[in-house]
Chains A and B, each alone.
Chain A
Amino acid sequence: MIERIIQALNDLQICKYSIQEIRSRSAEAFYVRRRQDLKRRTTLTDYTVSVYRDFEKDGRRFTGDSSVPVYPGMEESELKESLRTAYHAASFVTNPCYPLVSGSKEAPVPSQSGFAGKSPEENLKAVAEAIFAAEDTEDVFINSAEIFAEQWTSRVINSSGVDVSWENWNLNGEYVIQCLSPADVETHHTFSLREPDLAILQKEVADAMTRTKDRARADKPPKGGRYTVILSEEHVDTLLSYYVSRSDASRVYQHYSDYAPGQAVQGEEIRGDALTVILKAAAPYDLQGVPLHDRTLLENGVLQTIHGAPRFCYYLGIEPTGIYRSIQVPTGSTPLAEMKKQPYLHIVSFSDFQMDSFSGHFGGEIRLAYLFDGETVKTVTGGSVNGILPEVQGQMIFSKERCRSARYDGPLAVSIRNVTVAGIDGE
């Protein structure tokens, strides 16, 4: 199909283009209690063609672009009409000039994942075994689960010589744990694995069962006020996504962020841990063919890199870094147990923890938290967290313990002082 697309582009005299091909297959299973309810597989090939048009208007030079999906087996006339329409549209897109990423034909990069070499079905079964290894009890059990075993090969070709391809694996899904007494409650959990960390997954399910039991005992929100809040696991990733978003080249170019390399973005006065963040290359290239390698985003609270799509990097006059989807954060020096010697509110489950990268606002409704008042630990549910990261970022303390997922490898927990919590009595 790629040859047909290139031929059509040549016939239409479109000489600046980029083609993405993604060939994917998956095996999927859906469970209700300990029964498989449905099985699915997918076999798909997707193409996206972006066309670019350099032109001059009112004495200014522009690069217009537009993209279209192309489907396998598309007839010649429909393919050409789609590309022609996109190229016409590009003539009205008045963005400043930019070049495409240049490169050469490179050898395909096989996946280094431990999932590679097995079929999606085999990997699906291994993950299902890890999830269902946790013993059900009469009171606490896996209510339902979904597993998606996905393998895909991406290829990027452009008119500036790039021709790269690579393979990826991801095993992802969700499981719901239900506890019947003393109250009938559930907790919802997602997972996303690039490596077969099945023992970790199995432990996470077991921990989720313990937490769900705790959730069943929690019946009141915390009292409203200001707390030392501990966030853990995926919520640490969500919190730190603020720095990744603010340092994105498209944000900086559009003046939505004033981040610049060398800037102390964690503030001038850091009383807690200074933050270091690494952008991790989860694939050898991004979807525009930019080679990816690990880059330091923040070092001790100071921004090192503006990152993003090559076009925006070009506009800013910086090296095109490509687009990253994962971060690594060095663990802190404070054990979680040490953090918990002082009063805290450790929120382990939100309805939906949100981080607004414009305002720095973070918050969400509390589904389960552990409240230590200096004497006893109570489980609480309800109420909400409402914080502004730039106001509290200098006081973050990161745990010595680590957690790892497809998107995040870093401290298990972060402790933040003086966060507003709306609770049972208001504040």
Chain B
Amino acid sequence: MKVKDSPYISRNRALFQKLLRTLLEEYPYASVLAADSREKTYSVNRRLTSIRGGGMMSARGFVARVFDGSRWSEHSFNEISEELLPAIAAQIRETAAMSERILPDGIRENVYAAPDDAQNTFRGSTEYEIDPEQTGDDAVLARLREIRDRGLAYSDRLLDCSVQVNWNRTSKLFLSPGKDLEQNILWTTASVSAVAARGQEIKNSRRSLSLLGGMELLDQLGKQAEETAATAMELLDSAPMPAGEYECVCTPEVTGMIVHEAFGHGVEMDMFVKKRARAEQYVGRYVASPLVTMHDGAVSASQTGSYFFDDEGTMAKDTIVIDKGILKTGISDYQSAMILGTEPTGNGRRESYRRKAYTRMTNTWFEGGSDRVEDMIASISYGFLLEEPSSGMEDPKNWGIQCMVNIAREIRDGRLTGRIFSPIVLTGYVPDLLKSITMMSPAPELSGGGFCGKGYKEWVKVSDGGPYVKARIRLG
């Protein structure tokens, strides 16, 4: 089934069009983005139950973007009516003219050419099997409690087992002189986390699932409970990581974090504009093993980073960032592409209508190879199987890696020994790591359980992944 239009946006479409016409009487270009997003989060653990409507990605509001002939400005607001239109237009005008009140001495404004606003009309909706709003709160909670109980039953030394599911339905309308675009997207994510304790020592393990769709995700969640509980218990016997450089096999989740944090942020082309990305100097050069082909794009995969058009009205694409080890291109928002003289790639995204659009990743992943996971492990005399990424931070300028991983399983003489180490900090130089990839499993797997920030803010939903890969990595 297809996700339906937002009744709110449909009802007020004429009002948004009228606001756009009003702005175009004064400015050579303007656009209006209207967003209506609903979400709901269910969670249960040993002691608590929660149902929460709304959340970080839930919002209804608008952003008017104005080009005055040379400069850009934006005004975000969340109340509109026929009566309020003159006041809203006045606020947008005031924002467009506020530079003289805010420019410090010695600071000038960037000047832009008029945007190219090709004609386009589009309507699109993603699909789902089970409508989250028709599933029933009691049925969802009953399913989560069943999964929680399976986790808790694993061991009486488990402090807790938490299960969560979250869905988000977002509708957007983008209007400009040339464009009339409307889309409706539904994604669902879920997670199981288990906490194990021994005295003062507390360890936790977390797994997440996601899909572009609805509550059909719950069917995939059940088996995660025992596995997560088992991992949390194993972690109680983990040892501190002996620092060094090792042959490693990365699970698809860890591959995804490396793809996203280590390389993806570095090809966001708003960083090229600021001369903050080393990747700009490496276009056309080998940055990875010839085994590596990397994609980013909202239509490159069906996952939580998917959409039909971005927040600047550019249609989504599937961008091949690295082709057989050679960096081909970055990804970009519209404004960055204008400065750089490149084609926008449909990566102009806002955290919400409240925030500026930046170049952001969508679904970011490595293509698969032809190696079996068991052959990867068998090929290692001493090394580790890395599991459960927990966080990472970009470093586009210096291509440094910082990724945190929860579990390293020891491999000795081609076999897993059963010893595990935790926690682990991955460090090093991005091209060194990517060039060290020597084996990749066939099937890439993507997941979108988390959010991506630009630095420490501007959170957007993304997915990332890839196959199992074998690489040489510095661990600490």
Contacts and interface: CB of A to CB of B under 8 A. Distances in A.
Interface of A: 27-32, 34-46, 48, 64, 66-69, 71-73, 78, 82, 85-86, 88-90, 92-95, 121-122, 124-125, 128-129, 132, 143-144, 174, 176, 178, 184-186, 188, 190, 224, 253-256, 258, 350-352, 354, 356, 358-359, 361, 363-365, 367, 381-386, 390, 420-423, 426-427
A72 B75 contact: no
A63 B313 CA distance: 45
Contact of A422 (B98, B160, B204, B475): B475
B427 A89 contact: no
Contacts of B110: 32, 35-37
Nearest to B159: A255
B427 A35 contact: no
B425 A365 contact: yes
Given A35-B109, A39-B73, A125 B204 contact: no
9 contacts: A35-B108, A40-B75, A69-B60, A124-B102, A143-B275, A365-B401, A386-B423, A390-B200, A422-B425
Given A121-B102, A254-B47, A427-B243, A422 B427 contact: yes
Contacts of A64: 49
Nearest to A119: B101
Contacts of A67: 52-54
B72 interface: yes
A351 B400 contact: yes
Contacts of B99: 36, 39
Interface residues of B, number: 82
A364 B137 CA distance: 41
B322 interface: no
B108 A36 contact: yes
Nearest to B162: A254
A52 B242 CA distance: 51
Nearest to A224: B243
Interface stretch (B78-86, B114-122, B172-180): B78-86
Given A39-B95, A44-B354, A255-B160, 5 more contacts: A35-B110, A38-B335, A66-B52, A363-B476, A390-B200
A122 B400 contact: no
B48 interface: yes
A363 B404 CA distance: 9
Given A351-B393, A382-B400, A73 B108 contact: no
B427 A361 contact: no
Interface in B139-156: 141
Contacts of A27: 98, 102
Contacts of B273: 32
A129 B46 CA distance: 52
B450 to A, nearest CB: 14
Contacts of A44: 61, 76-78, 354
A92 B52 contact: no
Contacts of B423: 356, 359, 361, 363, 386
Nearest to B40: A89
A219 to B, nearest CB: 11
B65 to A, nearest CB: 9
Contacts of B50: 93
Interface in B240-296: 240-245, 273-276
A190 B455 contact: yes
A23 B286 CA distance: 51
Interface string B97-132: 011011111111110000000000000000000000
A392 to B, nearest CB: 13
A92 B54 contact: no
Contact of B242 (A71, A358, A426): A426
A378 to B, nearest CB: 18
Given A86-B53, A358-B204, A386 B241 contact: yes
Contacts of B401: 365
B91 A92 contact: no
Given A143-B276, A363-B425, A34 B76 contact: no
B398 to A, nearest CB: 6
B189 interface: no
Given A29-B102, A143-B275, A356-B423, A128 B356 contact: no
B45 interface: yes
A113 B200 CA distance: 42
A42 B400 contact: no
A43 B77 contact: yes
Nearest to B396: A186
B58 A143 contact: no
Nearest to B7: A78
Given A45-B78, A121-B98, A358-B204, A423 B243 contact: yes
B430 interface: no
A39 B58 CA distance: 24
Nearest to B46: A254
